[in-house]
């Protein structure tokens, strides 16, 4: 059984995927906060990545891409389309400056 927060997260994710939006886990966190749920981003992020991985593996037509977002920060972005995700990372990509 899903918690209230998980149910709210699923609602946001379903809306975003139904609308074919591109989004990050942080976009989901912000939307949940806008709806009155105080949530920690790390918890939402883990749930989003698990949910989307399961969906992509079950024919959800989304790709998971490592892209620059915002002010030169990199994040996983979920993009509509069925292109398989490929990630070319180096250790420096994962390290904080």
CATH of the domain at 69: 1.10.10
13 vs 63: CA distance, rounded Å: 14
Domain span holding position 24:
4-94
Closest to 56 in 3D by CA, of 80, 87, 27, 32: 80
Number of residues assigned to the chain: 97
3-state secondary structure of 17: helix
Integer Cα distance of 26 and 67 in angstroms:
13
Global pTM reads 0.81
Contacts of 58 (CB under 8 A, 6+ apart): none
pLDDT digits (tens, 9 = 90+) for 33-88: 999 999 999 999 999 999 999 999 998 999 999 999 888 889 999 999 965 545 56
Q: How many domains does the chain have?
A: 1
């Amino acid at each position: 059984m899903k918690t209230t927060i998980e149910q709210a997260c699923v609602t946001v994710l379903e809306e975003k995927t139904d609308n074919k939006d591109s989004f990050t886990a942080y976009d989901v966190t912000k939307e949940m906060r806008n709806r009155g749920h105080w949530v920690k981003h790390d918890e939402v992020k883990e749930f989003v990545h698990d949910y989307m991985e399961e969906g992509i593996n079950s024919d959800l037509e989304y790709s998971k891409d490592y892209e620059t977002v915002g002010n030169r920060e990199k994040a996983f972005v979920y993009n509509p389309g069925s292109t398989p995700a490929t990630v070319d990372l180096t250790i420096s990509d994962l390290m904080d400056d």
